[in-house]
Amino acid sequence: MGYDAGRAAQLLVTFRPVVPSRARRRALVRALFLVVVLALVAQALYAYAVEEPYPSFVFPSFSGAPDDEGAVRVLRPHLLVHFTDPSRVIEVPYQQLLSPAPGVAADAIAYTVFAPPVSDTHPGSVPGQFRLFLEQPSFERGAWTPSTELRDQRTRAWLRSRLLQLFPGQHVRTLEIRWDRYRYVNDSTSFTEPVTTQARLRVPIDG
């Protein structure tokens, strides 16, 4: 029994963990910190010189962005309600006209149904690879033909009913949809916002 106890004590002394000194611990922490810093610098140099590693820590360049020439071009629809009186014209936000639909659905309808027919051969907005991200339609400048949905009598009947709700007792003659292109330019000294009309669509409402 005494032999076993002495043997166990000897084993504990033999396998006692070695605790590094305070100086060695500090040196180890500093070395680890230096390795991490060097690794981050190497990763950054590799990302900008070759390609972005994964997981990424710098944003990609987005070479297909619409501001690659220093300007951002955005198409926006404007709805103008024309009444029997030629001098009476009221602009109605498409969100208000389509208010029975949720906001996201109203945006989708405005940028598809209210846009001229799609023309991929002559885009009127931003580069093709960026159109989906910005929800921008693609059509030829100067287009005046309404979309197939706007030529549908059921769509016009809904528009007639909806405009009657918005303007009770008033006779709406046509709904004009004007697509304007906003070109935002920021040259670090001034900010400009030129607007050019790209298309005008007229939808008959009075029958």
Question: CA 134 to CA 164: how far, in whole Å?
Answer: 32
Rounded to a whole number of angstroms, the CA Rg of the chain reads 34
Question: Do 39 and 99 sit in the same domain of this protein?
Answer: no
Residue 62 lies in a domain: no
Report pLDDT digits (tens) over 34-91: 888 888 888 777 766 666 555 555 555 555 555 555 677 788 899 999 999 989 999 9
Report pLDDT digits (tens) over 116-159: 887 665 444 444 444 444 566 777 777 788 888 899 999 999 99
Question: Do 76 and 158 sit in the same domain of this protein?
Answer: yes
Question: Do 75 and 45 sit in the same domain of this protein?
Answer: no
Name the residue range of residue 34's domain. 2-49
Residue 96 lies in a domain: yes
Question: Do 144 and 80 sit in the same domain of this protein?
Answer: yes
Q: Is the pTM of this model over 0.75?
A: no
What pLDDT shows up at residue 100? 80
| Residue written as token pair 């944003």 | 59
**Which one, of 84, 82, 102, 99, lies nearest residue 200 by Cα?**
82
Is the pLDDT at 8 greater than 60? The verdict is no
What is the arithmetic mean of pLDDT over 186-205? 78
Residue 196 lies in a domain: yes
Query: Do 179 and 115 form a contact (C-beta atoms < 8 A)?
Result: yes
Query: Do 117 and 149 form a contact (C-beta atoms < 8 A)?
Result: no
Question: Do 93 and 187 sit in the same domain of this protein?
Answer: yes
CA distances from 163 to 85, 88, 102, 119, 156 (A): 16, 15, 18, 29, 10
More confident residue, 134 or 193: 193
Question: Do 88 and 171 sit in the same domain of this protein?
Answer: yes
CA 41, 44, 50, 53 dihedral sign is positive
Question: Do 34 and 123 sit in the same domain of this protein?
Answer: no
Question: Do 19 and 108 sit in the same domain of this protein?
Answer: no
Residue 13 lies in a domain: yes
Question: Do 92 and 166 sit in the same domain of this protein?
Answer: yes
Residue 169 lies in a domain: yes
Question: Do 96 and 189 sit in the same domain of this protein?
Answer: yes
Question: CA 133 to CA 77: how far, in whole Å?
Answer: 17
What is the distance in angstroms between the CA of the first residue and the CA of the last residue of the chain?
Answer: 112
Residue 199 lies in a domain: yes
For 67, list phi and psi in degrees, rounded to 5: -100, 25
Q: Total structural domains in the chain? A: 2
